[in-house]
A and B are shown apart, each in its own frame.
Chain A
Amino acid sequence: MRVSFTVNGRPQEADDVWEGESLLYVLRERMGLPGSKNACEQGECGSCTVRLDGVPVCSCLVAAGQVEGRDVVTVEGLADFAEQRAEHGGCASAAPGSCGTSLDAARRWEARPADSQTGGDTALAPIQQAFIDAGAVQCGFCTPGLLVAADEMLERNPTPTDADIREALSGNLCRCTGYEKIMDAVRLAAARQGEAARR
């Protein structure tokens, strides 16, 4: 079957999608967006977390056909998504179309030059920069899912307690860091977000 939906602000189509295929598979294998990671395929690890109509979900548990006509944001679009949100002074996460990239902005979208170096000229979402600065990345496999989940929490709750952070990230497993530096990164992003808002 054919499935059409919006990914990171751009309309996308996938053909010959098997009916039992997951959104994760379509993103990774058919749309060339391997940022969302495939680990457990049962919703345990959160590595495949994306925003579906603004809501964080495990993309491995969403059937591709269920996404028809809907709006998906992956880690690849997180920097643009965060930038748009900052420009519009935050956004209501649930309403499709109100978040992410507008159709108009999407038409003007151009890939930015980027290299594999962290930072560099590539614009990062504040949460991504905070993960780098806090040293919250080790093997990096869990990082995309954590970024999407943490970014969504900071959108909802700009001043999270440690308990709020732990709860929001409880569906994302990391086997390297012991989570402490991930906690540091989210606290750092929250503090920077607060400073930016006060300015």
Chain B
Amino acid sequence: MDFLRPASWEEALAAKAAHPTAVPIAGGTDVMVEINFDHRRPEYLLDLNRIGELGDWEVGEESVRLGASVPYTAIMDHLRGELPGLALASHTVASPQIRNRGGVGGNLGTASPAGDAHPALLAAGAEVEAESVRGSRLIPIDDFYTGVKRNALAPDELIRAVHIKKAAGPQQYSKVGTRNAMVIAVCAFGLALHPDTRTVRTGIGSAAPTPVRARAAEDFLNAALEEGGFWDNGKIITPSVAKQFAELCSGACNPIDDVRGTASYRRHAVGVMARRTLTWTWESYRGTDGTAQQKGRVA
């Protein structure tokens, strides 16, 4: 094994081009587990800790450019206003020690269906900034996850940043697990209201081979909200609409039975989370419930 320690982003790209099998390591919270347990013996480890700009973020007009290594702790502390869904998701990641090291770049690189950031990114709308010596490109989040622990990165590419749309409305995140800390999601659900485009977006975690959106549920809800004039009249969501939305979200799942839960439990729980997060965000949008932002929080 070789340990590559590039001092700059350019050096890191050159190293990845020279050694496409090199495994990038930033927070190490996934990679080191695999090495400690001898599940993986990469030929090269590519340490990204010396590249300071990966830990920076920029808040723009439309979106936040979040450096790949910005730790979850910083997202919770500094970006709760711009990225409320991702901040809630960050708070559910493992423990303080892990949140101090891990970041969204690693979550995307690993591309586990159980990664906590994915539902929030899918719901908010995001693009992954991938770069290689050949150049830089933005990969829409909807095209990023290609299979179980597979993503759209080319072998010579590294994740520089994620561009996440700033929240124009309430967002929520919900995760099922056996306790409030140190759990891999049994399943998770992210929901974002986008009043600017009068759309709702969703993200489902741990209930399909990849993180997915519940497209049919979104289409149904968008049409129902439009038809009923809900965005303007701010009426309470009709229970039958919420129920149908929840069922369609369940239907978007393609889960498996495993040690954490059964497929049917996951389908059921995703429906429950879909209905709840819709209610929380909609009540917050209507301005009737100031505590809506708090409900999804981990105490």
Contact = CB atoms under 8 A, between A and B. Distances in A.
Interface string B264-299: 000000000000000000000000000000000011
A19 B37 contact: no
Contacts of B35: 20, 22, 63
Size band of the interface chain B makes with A:
20 to 34
Given A42-B36, A58-B101, 17 more contacts: A18-B1, A19-B1, A19-B3, A43-B94, A57-B101, A58-B29, A60-B32, A61-B29, A61-B98, A61-B101, A63-B25, A65-B45, A65-B47, A167-B96, A167-B298, A170-B96, A171-B94
Contact of A68 (B5, B41, B97, B298): B5
Given A167-B96, A170-B181, A66 B49 contact: yes
Contacts of B32: 22, 43, 60-63
B44 to A, nearest CB: 9
A101 interface: no
A149 B97 contact: yes
A1 interface: yes
Interface string A43-83: 11010010000011110111101101000000000000000
Interface of A: 1, 18-20, 22, 41-44, 46, 49, 55-58, 60-63, 65-66, 68, 149, 163, 167-168, 170-173
B2 A58 contact: no
Contacts of B95: 43, 46, 170-172
A68 B49 CA distance: 10
Contacts of B241: none
B47 A63 contact: yes
30 contacts: A19-B45, A20-B1, A20-B35, A20-B45, A22-B32, A22-B35, A22-B36, A41-B37, A42-B33, A42-B36, A43-B33, A46-B97, A56-B96, A58-B97, A58-B98, A60-B32, A60-B36, A61-B27, A61-B28, A62-B101, A65-B5, A66-B28, A66-B49, A149-B97, A163-B299, A170-B96, A170-B180, A171-B94, A171-B95, A171-B182
Given A22-B32, A63-B3, A43 B96 contact: no
B97 A171 contact: yes
Contacts of A167: 96, 181, 298-299
A149 B57 CA distance: 27
